[in-house]
Each structure stands twice: as C-alpha cells, then as structure tokens.
A and B are shown apart, each in its own frame.
Chain A
Amino acid sequence: MARVYRVWVDGEERVFACGPDQDLLAAAVVQGVRSIKRGCRGGGCGMCKVRVVDGTYDLGKSSVAVLPPAEREQGYVLACKTIPTSDLNIRVTKNNLRRRDGDGGNSDS
C-alpha cells in the first residue's frame, strides 16, 4: 500500500505528489502549493479544508465544529488529516473558510 499518489488541484493545472503516510497538506506545503491554506495542522481550525472530487482517502480525527458530518458526506476534508489511498482530484474553493463555522468563526476578510 505504501506508494506515492498524484493529487490534481482542480482549476489550477497543478499536480503534486503525496507520499506514503503523508497528509495532503504536508505534501502541498513542501511542494509549494500555496492555495491550500496552512493552519494548525491538527484538524482543529478548518483553514485547510478542500473538497475531494474524485478518489479515495482516509480522514483522521477532525473537528466537527469546522467539518460537520454533512460536509464529510459531500467529500469535504481537512487536508491536514487526509491520507490519500488513491490518486486524488481536489478542489480548493474560495468559500471554504467562510463556510466552515456557523458562528462566523473566521476573520479572513
């Protein structure tokens, strides 16, 4: 199972590699993919939220406050807690931060 997967960033014409047991965010950061925002790296802040359009992955413990169950069903993930188990196609949406909290929990304006 330990292999490198390719991750396409939808709309960015960008591909990066995600090594065995490497999370999506760590892989993106070291390869200079800046469109995925780097926050706490602990599944707590929601800054790194992206949507997996295609592919399979394991999602580690993630805060329900920033990633509620309904979003998980739609393929939203926290990149810092996502380990690909296939090649992935992901989408970074501008609204991720704004969507992430019912209480307006962000100040990225």
Chain B
Amino acid sequence: MGIMRLGRVEARVLDLEKSIDYYTNVIGLQLMARENGRAYLKAWDEEDHHSLILIEADHPGLVHMAFKVRYEHELDEYEKALERYGVRVNRVSKGTRLAEGQAIRFELPTGHLVELYHEIERVGNGLKLNPDPYPENLKGIAPPALDHVLITGEDVQGATNLLMNVFDFHMSERVVTLDGEQLLAVWLFRTNTPHDIAIIKGPNGKLHHFAFNLGGWNDILRAADCLAKNNVAFDVTPTRHGITRGTTVYFFDPSGNRNEVFSGGYIPCEDFTPVTWTEDQLAKGIFYHLRELNERFTAALT
C-alpha cells in the first residue's frame, strides 16, 4: 500500500547524445526509447519501462522525481490528502511521456516537483523463469536499479513533515543543530533501504545527486575503476558513509549532475528508531573515514 519506491528521475542534461553515451556505456543502463527529445533508460534488474529520463536543456538539474504507488486508486486518495494538507495538486495525463499512465504532481516545500504514479509499461527483467543471477552482455558499471535521490532546500522540516504525514515516509537518520532545534538534513525511506529520498539544507529546487545501487564493496571499487577508465569526474572516491553505513562513490555526469553508486547500509523496518547526528559531526556522518567536508560536496549542485 502507498508509495513502493522511487520510480524515476527526470534529469536535464546539456548534451543529450553525450549523456546517452555516458548513461548507457559507463553507467550501463539500457536505452529503452527516444521520443520528443527525451531518452528513456532503465537498469537491468528493473521491471518497469524506465527509471531515468534525460532531456536536453540549457542548464542541468532535476525536472521531477516520481514515486510509484501500489494501486492506481491511491492517486485519488493522495490527491485528496495533499489538498487537505494545503498542497496544490495537478494531474499529468497519460501519454504526456512515453510508456507512462497518469500521474499526480505537486511541489515540495523545497521547490522540487514530485509525481506519484502507478501505471507504467512493464517490460520485465527477463529473469523470472529458471533464471541466471544476472543477464548477459552488461556494460559499464551496470547497477541493478535506481536507489535514491538527494535534494537541497531551505525548508527541510516542512518537506519532511509533508513526506512523513501524507505518505508515511519513515525517518532513518537526521542532522540537527547542536541545540537540537533545527533540522538540517534528513534521510527518509518507504522501502527497507536506509533512504529513498534525502534532503539537505541548501538552495531551493537543486539536485545534489541521484544514486544507483550496487551489491557490495567489490562492486563499488570496480565501479570506481570503470569511472576512472572512462575519465569521469570524481567527487569522492570509494569510502563509507557514517550515515546509513553504506559504501559509496560520488561522481559527475557529463553535464555536472552528481551521480552516486551506493551499496549496503542497514535494513530498516517501519519501527526503526532514527539515528541523530549533530551538525558538528556532519563530516563523520558523510565521510566516515576522512571526516572532512570538501567545498565541492556542498557547493556543486545542479
């Protein structure tokens, strides 16, 4: 019931051809279709038609993120719930984008566009009858799936309240001021991963990164090798997060959108007690080994 996962991210890129080359050959996603200036891609283990949409624009960043709900009728219920909460909701009609049914769209207090949808063409992963563990001919990093998104905005508390109250997101971790008064960052989940969406205090409407998941530490190291081989710009080489306990690599797509490959972390359930970090320990939370925040990590946003 309700939101099942982060289903898709639509990102602006400066050069569609270069970006398709990067996302298919280096990240190793499958190009499913191109139509009306958009490219639709999916990771190999995903069953829906696409999880990443690229569109060319004069500046990079996030067009929208969308969460998939379990049942179509829940769109009506969430539309009403959002309106009761004081949020304006628009309908996105079927056929607006390829392979998608209708969606409801609203804006978070941080200025980001969010959609909820249920219907999308099911193409499958081809691994449902006496299958092998993964398909043949994977390219590049080849993550199995999209994992989470991290956005920045001023009203972290407002966005958190909305997501928790209307959609029953659960909090895995948070960063607060030393006096505990103000919420500076939050990690929220609907799946049993440590986060489906995270929000950090910063300029409104900006993308910090979107992430793909990987199986383990060896895959993280191999991903970094693949990035280096392809001269991709690194932000942070393989390390561990204090927050979520996951392992990670941060890097940039050809338009400067930050990507991450993320692995591990604990498996939270709905009754998980949130972990709290105080702002003076943020560096330990983000980069558990080095414990230094670099300017790039906080300032490079799209």
Chain A interface (Cβ < 8 Å from any Cβ of B)? 37-45, 47, 61-66, 97, 101, 103-108
What string of 1s and 0s marks CB contacts (under 8 Å) between B222-258 and chain A?
A: 0000000000010100000000000000001111111
Which chain A residue has the least Cβ–Cβ distance from B234?
A41
Complexed CA–CA distance, A13 and B220 (Å): 41
**Which chain A residues lie closer than 8 Å to B60 at the CB level?**
42, 44, 63
> Cβ of B257: which chain A residues have Cβ within 8 Å of it?
40, 42, 44
Contact A65/B59 with A37-B296, A47-B296 known, Cβ cut-off 8 Å: yes
The tally of residues in B whose CB lies under 8 Å from a CB in A reads 27
Closest B residue to A101 by CB, please name it: B203
Residues on A with beta carbons closer than 8 Å to the beta carbon of B252 = 40-42, 44
Of the listed residues A37, A39, A42, A108, the one surrounded by the most CB atoms of chain B closer than 10 A to its CB is A42
Q: Which residues of B contact A61 (CB under 8 A)?
A: 14-15, 255
Known: A47-B300, A63-B59. Contact between A106 and B258, CB under 8 A?
no
Are A107 and B300 interface neighbours, CB within 8 A? Answer: no
Which of B61, B295, B296, B300 is A65 in contact with, Cβ under 8 Å?
B61
Closest Cβ neighbor of B254 among chain A residues: A42
List B residues 268-302 near A (Cβ within 8 Å): 295-296, 298-302
Determine whether the beta carbon of B58 is less than 8 Å from that of A107.
Answer: no
Chain A contacts for B302, CB-based, 8 A: 40, 44-45, 63, 65
- The docked-state distance in angstroms from the alpha carbon of A106 to that of B202 is 8
Structural contact, A44 and B59, CB atoms closer than 8 A: yes
Residues B59 and A66 in contact, CB atoms below 8 Å apart? yes
Contacts of B301 in A (CB 8 A): 45, 105
The distance from the CB of A96 to the nearest CB of chain B, in whole angstroms, is: 11
A40 to B250, CA, bound (A): 11
Which of A44, A97, A105, A107 counts the most chain B CB atoms within 10 A?
Answer: A44
**B251: shortest Cβ distance to chain A, in Å?**
9
Query: For the complex, what is the distance from the CA of A97 to the CA of B295, rounded to whole Å?
Result: 11
Task: For the complex, give the distance between the alpha carbons of A101 and B204 in Å.
Answer: 12
Residues of B close to A41: CB separation below 8 A: 233, 252, 256
A43: chain B residues within 8 A (beta carbon): 14, 255-256
Least CB distance, B254 to chain A, in whole angstroms: 5
**B299 contacts A107, C-beta separation under 8 Å:** yes
Given contacts A43-B255, A64-B59, contact A37 B205 (CB under 8 A): no
Question: Shortest beta-carbon distance, A41 to chain B, in Å?
Answer: 4
Residues in B whose Cβ lies below 8 Å from that of A40: 233, 235, 252, 256-258, 300, 302
CB pair A103 B253 closer than 8 Å? no
Question: Closest B-chain residue to A61, C-beta based?
Answer: B14
- How many angstroms between the C-alpha atoms of A101 and B203 in the bound complex? 10
- Across the interface, do B296 and A38 meet the contact criterion of CB distance under 8 Å? yes
The distance in angstroms between the C-alpha atoms of A63 and B253, with both chains bound, is 13
